[in-house]
């Protein structure tokens, strides 16, 4: 549940794979932010992929161009995490499929790839286009939100994959 309130923020409840609901929801908005994650990491799922398809199609219908999505730092080459990749293989497969949909749609997209997310209360982060920040092993969810909002407000990271970390 989102408890943060702001006059320029709209939080709606709906089905993230329903293109019609999404098209109605995103109309007349500046950007779409998606911070979906796996429900059950051990079960195969296509939720991220299916949501990305519905979202990008809805944005195309509604004329919204800016999209920011949350993925995973484990997709960067050289991240030494074979065990994590094995355990999270279903989520990893789904998030890569989501990334492909996002990149292939003609929108002004940004893919944020954080490491392990925490409940800590800090909002600072380090970012690096095309790679994970060095020694970045975790990041607060609050900092992920700060990065996404900064990317929109500062008009940064268009059509880039960005590693973010503490």
CATH class of 19-165: alpha beta
d(CA 123, CA 139): 9
Partners of residue 70 on adjacent β-strands: 112
SS3 9: coil
d(CA 68, CA 131): 17
Instruction: For residue 100, name the pLDDT band (cuts at 50, 70, 90).
Output: very high
13: how many CB neighbours lie within 10 A of its CB? Answer: 8
Can you tell me the mean pLDDT for 68-97? Answer: 85
Residue 112's pLDDT is what?
A: 99
Can you tell me the mean pLDDT for 68-80? Answer: 87
Evaluate if pTM is beyond 0.85: yes
CB-CB contact of 88 with 41 (8 Å): yes
d(CA 31, CA 74): 26
d(CA 51, CA 48): 5
Residue 40's pLDDT is what?
A: 80
Domain positions in the chain are 19-165
């Amino acid at each position: 549940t989102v408890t943060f309130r702001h006059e320029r923020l709209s939080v709606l409840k709906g089905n993230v794979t329903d293109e019609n609901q999404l098209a109605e929801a995103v109309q007349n908005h500046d950007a779409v932010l998606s911070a979906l994650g796996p429900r059950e990491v051990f079960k195969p799922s296509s939720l991220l992929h299916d949501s990305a398809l519905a979202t990008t199609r809805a944005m195309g219908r509604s004329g919204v161009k800016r999209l920011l999505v949350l993925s995973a730092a484990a997709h960067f080459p050289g991240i030494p995490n074979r065990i994590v990749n094995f355990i999270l293989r279903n989520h990893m497969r789904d998030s890569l499929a989501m990334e492909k949909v996002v990149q292939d749609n003609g929108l002004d997209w940004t893919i944020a790839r954080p490491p392990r997310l925490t409940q800590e209360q800090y909002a600072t982060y380090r970012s690096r286009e095309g790679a994970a920040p060095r020694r970045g092993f975790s990041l607060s969810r609050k900092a992920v939100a700060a990065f996404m909002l900064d990317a929109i407000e500062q008009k940064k990271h268009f059509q880039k994959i960005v590693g973010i970390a503490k």
